[in-house]
């Protein structure tokens, strides 16, 4: 079977690349060994948001009196919550199947392995078929990273995939790592009533965020009942008993904490083993496939996108890389992706959204800064909604007004961050944000107010 483009992997990088290729007139096939949509759609981005929505609704019920409402009886059905999440994921996967048919993309289910000469072997139930293409795009994604001192057995010590599909709700859980995956699951299980402890090696949780955001998140999670241990490391575990004992090294010495389950959320490992990279001579470095600005590997005709290449391991990044890669193959005029303007989002409560430089990074680069901050406690919309936790923080270059960074924590901020992304893309200055009329009452006007605060013109603070 001969194609113009074959995509190996159907996650948000792979399936988007395949659709764009088909739109541009390429005869396209996509190879997937499990479920269309990949980890993001089936075991990541989408089903976790379904779980978090259930947690949000449950929290609303618990605080109904705050809104003048009386709810006499309510409870959770953990199994039904999990089932709803799986149903959402299954429905989205079927949606990808529809898109493949709509765009006349051949879907090949099986395990793919690259071969020299722009070929791929696909094995199903012991039977192998060879496919070839002018261009092969590798989009095999990543999985939960497993540390030697935290071996995952899928029952007592789990990764994010098992955390989405537990048969019963644990009474207690240790979450190792406090990036987006760690804090989202910590929030979900805490909201459901599980006793949660986060163990983070670095001084702050969500350590990649601006320090002010990290500190606010820690305050909010502690207020919600999550125990947080920073500057701490799980050195070893003992699973011989009924649950898990974690031996944690802290500044004060070793501490032993116990729980039913330990969730390892210490990052991801790329899926680059046993896919034929060595046989084809494709260069890798530190768990990543090396590519140029348009995702060409060192071997002509082979490309790579998404989590398997250097850069932020985010679904929207993989999709953008897939489109850029295919459009470059098609000979279109394509700008390389600006990795300094990629938004990052965390969907716990409160949500976190950010883009650009943190205050610390901007100072390290030598900028003279104008920094503005607007708390949601001063937002009429946030107060009316009962969600006053958090703020918007903006960072501008004092000399030219360039918008260097935007960092938000609060309700719905993941839907607000795109304003900053687009504005930075268009090289919008702080004064232009201040003079752009934002609707009232909305959460989004906090962006304008924060910009005004940076320039000493804030009205409502």
Task: Look up residue 385 and give its two tokens.
Answer: 């909604």
CA pair distance 18, 6, nearest whole angstrom: 8
Do residues 122 and 31 touch, judged by C-beta distance below 8 A?
A: yes
CA pair distance 374, 460, nearest whole angstrom: 9
Neighbours of 297 (CB within 10 A): 22
**Contacts of 119 by beta carbon, 8 Å cutoff, 6+ apart:** 130, 131, 132
Task: Look up residue 268 and give its two tokens.
Answer: 């991801």
DSSP per-residue codes, 313-340: --HHHHHHHHHHHHHHHTT---PPP-GG
Question: Is 440 among the catalytic positions?
Answer: yes
Q: Where would I find the H helices in 206-330?
A: 211-223, 277-280, 315-329
For residue 396, give the nearest of 418, 417, 371, 374 by alpha carbon: 371
Q: Where would I find the H helices in 155-262?
A: 160-163, 180-192, 211-223
CA pair distance 304, 386, nearest whole angstrom: 45
3-class SS at 421? helix
CA pair distance 436, 22, nearest whole angstrom: 39
Do residues 108 and 276 touch, judged by C-beta distance below 8 A?
A: no
Collect contacts of 239-242 with beta carbons under 8 A, ≥24 apart. Answer: 239/153, 239/156, 239/157
Do residues 145 and 269 touch, judged by C-beta distance below 8 A?
A: yes
Do residues 106 and 3 touch, judged by C-beta distance below 8 A?
A: yes
Do residues 162 and 264 touch, judged by C-beta distance below 8 A?
A: no
How would you class 299 by CB atoms within 10 Å of its CB: exposed for 0-12, middle for 13-18, buried for 19 or more?
middle
Residues annotated as binding site for FAD? 49, 112, 307
Q: Which residue in 135, 438, 440, 460 is the catalytic one? A: 440
Bridge-based pairing state of the strands 351-356 and 369-375:
unpaired
Beta bridge mates, 28: 5
Do residues 169 and 193 touch, judged by C-beta distance below 8 A?
A: yes
For residue 393, give the nearest of 364, 360, 426 by alpha carbon: 360
Residues labelled as active-site residues: 440
């Amino acid at each position: 079977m001969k194609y113009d483009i074959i995509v190996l992997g159907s996650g948000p990088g792979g399936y988007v690349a395949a659709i764009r290729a088909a739109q541009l007139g390429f005869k396209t096939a996509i190879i997937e060994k499990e479920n269309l949509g990949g980890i993001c759609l089936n075991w990541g981005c989408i089903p976790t948001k379904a779980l978090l929505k259930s947690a949000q609704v449950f929290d609303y019920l618990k605080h109904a009196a705050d809104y003048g409402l009386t709810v006499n009886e309510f409870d959770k059905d953990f199994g039904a919550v999990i089932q709803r999440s799986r149903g959402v994921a299954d429905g989205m996967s079927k949606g990808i199947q529809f898109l493949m048919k709509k765009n006349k993309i051949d879907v090949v289910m099986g395990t793919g392995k690259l071969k020299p000469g722009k070929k791929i072997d696909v094995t199903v139930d012991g039977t192998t078929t060879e496919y070839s293409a002018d261009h092969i795009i590798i989009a095999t994604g990543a999985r939960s990273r497993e540390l030697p001192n935290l071996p995952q057995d899928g029952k007592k010590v789990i990764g994010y995939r098992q955390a989405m599909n537990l048969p019963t709700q644990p009474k207690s859980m240790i979450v190792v790592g406090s990036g987006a995956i760690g804090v989202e699951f910590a929030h979900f299980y805490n909201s459901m009533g599980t006793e949660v402890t986060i163990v983070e090696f670095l001084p702050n949780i969500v350590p990649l965020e601006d320090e002010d955001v990290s500190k606010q998140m820690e305050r909010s999670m502690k207020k919600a009942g999550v125990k947080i241990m920073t500057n701490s490391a799980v050195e070893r575990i003992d699973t011989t008993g009924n649950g898990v004992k974690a031996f944690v090294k802290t500044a004060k010495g070793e501490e032993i904490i116990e729980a039913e389950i330990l969730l390892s959320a210490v990052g991801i490992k790329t899926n680059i083993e046993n896919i034929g990279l060595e046989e084809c001579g494709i260069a890798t470095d530190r768990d990543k496939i090396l590519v140029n600005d348009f995702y060409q590997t060192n071997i002509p005709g082979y490309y790579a996108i998404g989590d398997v290449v250097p850069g932020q391991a985010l679904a929207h990044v993989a999709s953008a890389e897939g489109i850029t890669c295919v459009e470059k193959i098609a000979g279109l005029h394509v700008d390389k992706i600006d990795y300094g303007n990629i938004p990052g989002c965390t969907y716990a409560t409160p949500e976190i959204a950010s883009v650009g430089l943190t205050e610390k990074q901007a100072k390290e680069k030598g900028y003279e800064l104008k920094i503005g901050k607007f708390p949601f406690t001063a937002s009429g919309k946030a107060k009316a909604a009962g969600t006053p936790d958090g703020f918007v923080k903006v960072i501008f270059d004092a000399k030219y007004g360039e918008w260097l960074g935007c960092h938000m924590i609060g309700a719905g901020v993941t839907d607000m961050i795109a304003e900053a992304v687009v504005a930075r893309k268009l090289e919008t200055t702080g004064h232009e944000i201040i003079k752009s009329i934002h609707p009232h009452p909305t959460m989004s006007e906090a962006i304008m107010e924060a910009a005004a605060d940076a320039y000493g013109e804030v009205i409502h603070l």
